Structure 1
């Protein structure tokens, strides 16, 4: 059988490779329009998407996209700017204003190609009148710590933004808008990817208020007024300004999982994909996955080992400690604590954008001896978990996965290798 650690890393690399814009974007490009072609966009993959578009576009084009600091790539005709993630900054707000200005005065025979990927909610930040950048920053921090799902967070964001919730597409009217999406959200809902700047939004201001109340998040009077009066309402399905626009999903978490599964099968290991949209508290998902792994290892149910179980999606972390967080390493540490050194079980959990939480670390690897090695160093796994210190834990063991900016983002990648019982 192959080395579990090496195979798990190869599978993660394959998942990332499957979502590279250079391969998945060109087949979705339309014919050039009679008028102008303007390229706009935001997200961790947007710069690489822009480069792929430039290399395959036959006519004239110009535009501006915003990506995360460190994720820019050289382009000749499309300007690339960088901004902050996951909490917005002035650079992102300036970029959003410039993008809105760029699409003013377009005509019906013009084409806007909008390149959207995960991270765009923070990178393309322009609050509605009355809401300050500082207000948005404070709210983002509170949402990130609250344990709210990505769908809930983006519902709130859509109703406080001048560009999200379909408003960017409305600004392009009457030009035709083609949005090319790389999905990083469970369910691949366009309204949730970068908070849907070109997508109609069925949620309401009342929904956003309910979410803030659910997680006991206080907001300034200006935000509460926008939501209570409905002044922050987004564009709804059927809005005439969105008619004729198109949205195409060019890469998804499921595609990445299938690419990883192909690598394992080529190595002779059966693979079972549990789902591409698994959500919940990271540590609770870790406990559930540990129970599945133990059942497979001990009772050969519901799968026969050796095998690998794969899953994707986006878990959440309710932050209570002050450690170096990250939902993937939180999941992995919880998995390890629950397995308690169970023989024959290895795992990897990484974010496909190369950044888990706010650390430039994609995730980590887990082995049967992980807890024993930690104890030998005087590190208490349960204490690290309680302190939300997954990165600190795995860094100390030399088990972090560091790959740098991947220039794409199809959400979290989790793989558990479960070996067969050794022959007596």
Structure 2
């Protein structure tokens, strides 16, 4: 006897995995280790779009989050082990789902409406829901990028600013859906053929903050003419008409060290995910992963040769590093998660595991405003505001380069309290 609800319009597309959504059984493929599913249909149903890629098991498809799935089966048998359990809980312990306590008095529409209203930024119920979306060591993070931004990472940028857990946005696969996660202010200017993203694993939950509460209140008050991208609501959720998506920022808007095997990826118009480059910390560069079939996705990145297989980033751009101890000596380290941290060394034999890992970066104050020191050139220092607000932005004449990120050049001699800050990571 089937454990699923009475199914209707069951499709016969050639795939063994099937999921039930809103009482309907669909052939499906799991995405992001079961955080989302791609559903297929032989007919054009509500929410389904025609598949453009060759080899798809059915002519129409749509993407849904695991939380929308009512049941999973293979060959007609209940299958709790394909990424999600029967109640939608992910198998990966690094992906804690967002928990919303729905009841007769609290409907999903009420929660979504509150999450989109800055007046509810101090609501205890909303804060409790937001805290359930937690980051752990090894949690996969993602940041949507424009072509210009991905070029910056290929030249040496580090993760910073607004970002998301991959688990929460795994169902957003097409450029049209991913536009709401962009930080470059391009939303509303047409949907591109491809959206890029940076994906990496979190080294420590202490590297991230929820853009809500008193410490993050400044971004809520920034006027529209001084910001780029969507407004910061202060509830901890990104602005969206349909989705409930918890958002994060890197602590103090600072750069984070780039972990090993971080990936620069592309999402095409039919939801295909293509890994373009992976980060190789020992070589300090990005290794191209795509072949001729997807080379056109690299061609769209400005000033990046599409036929170059390795793109070095050098040492000068690293404003933040990891350090760790081995044998009572300190070494530069690299996060190689989920395995742990090791010495950054060219030879495999010297890649010892390290202890007491810390993140190290330079901070200072200019005109009384706390900033991260990004780099110095010819007596001038590039600064990024750690806690931007309308007053600090005006006082420094800082410019907004992406959502929530404000930078400015300052005379190096005018910097005060210039110091290297070491942030220790807690034990795993």
Give your verdict on TM over 0.5.
no
**Structure showing the higher helix proportion among its residues:** 1
TM-score normalized by structure 2? 0.25
Q: Please, what TM-score do these two structures have when normalized by structure 1? A: 0.25
Question: Greater relative contact order (Cα 8 A, min sep 6): structure 1 or 2?
Answer: 1
